[in-house]
Amino acid sequence: MYFETKLRSVVKAVSWRFWATLTTIVLVFAFTRQIAVAATVGFVEVFAKMALYFFHERAWNKINLGRRHLEPFVLWFTGLSGSGKSTLAEMIYRDLKKQGYRVEQLDGDVIRSIFPNTGFSREDRNNHIKRVGFLASILEKNGVMVVASFVSPYKQDRDFVRKQCKNFIEVYVNASLEVCQKRDPKGLYAQVKEGKIKNFTGIDDPYEVPDNPELTLFTDTQSIEESFLQIKKQIASFINNKK
């Protein structure tokens, strides 16, 4: 995921040699009680060992012994609107970011706001998920972890994304339609009742439940914190299996 630049190696070498040379000067002076001798030894040593340290660092950059490659992955949240996908995806994204990983978040609402002409017909949804899935796979191939949250109601679209990605972790956020309607955080179900939205997943358009997701979360009976910990365990399990 990361590599040492030459500048970083130089700065590390200077920092290390300052303290190491100061220690050498103090030790030589302690044994000889001659400040000129101590300073001369320190002067010669600082340049000799800085050069040695630099080439030592660059050589080890090319050696893979003991170096563990962390496989990127695509963590794909799917489920009804109001099930908790976006909330959990945001929590996991922030957690991975905090740990220093290269990670990007792809959210259905955010992407639709950028491409507002994307419709809700089956064909529009198919094309939308395929485009996003392709983007996720490109990010993954470039060493970036991806956290994606999309209703993605159709199995064939999710299967398409899975085939595009090397490491695809499907998380089915399972909450009943009744619970999602009560939550209705974005007011979408209310607009459906008013006839303002058509072809809405779970109401007048089907949601095809995943056959064999890597993880299923029952967010209508467990807390967000419990679901969050389950996802973290799934990610930890994936990382450990890739060691």
- Please list the active-site residues: 152
**Closest by alpha carbon to 104, among 130, 68, 143?**
143
CA distances from 209 to 104, 152, 214, 232 (A): 26, 10, 13, 23
Paired strand residues for 205: 201
User: Rounded to whole angstroms, how far apart are CA atoms 136 and 139?
Assistant: 5
User: Rounded to whole angstroms, how far apart are CA atoms 227 and 233?
Assistant: 10
Q: Outline where DSSP puts E strands in 10-90.
A: 74-78
User: Rounded to whole angstroms, how far apart are CA atoms 149 and 120?
Assistant: 16
Tokens 């999602």 correspond to 180
Contact between 75 and 171 (Cβ < 8 Å):
yes
Structure token pair of residue 34: 């001659």
Structure token pair of residue 233: 């365990």
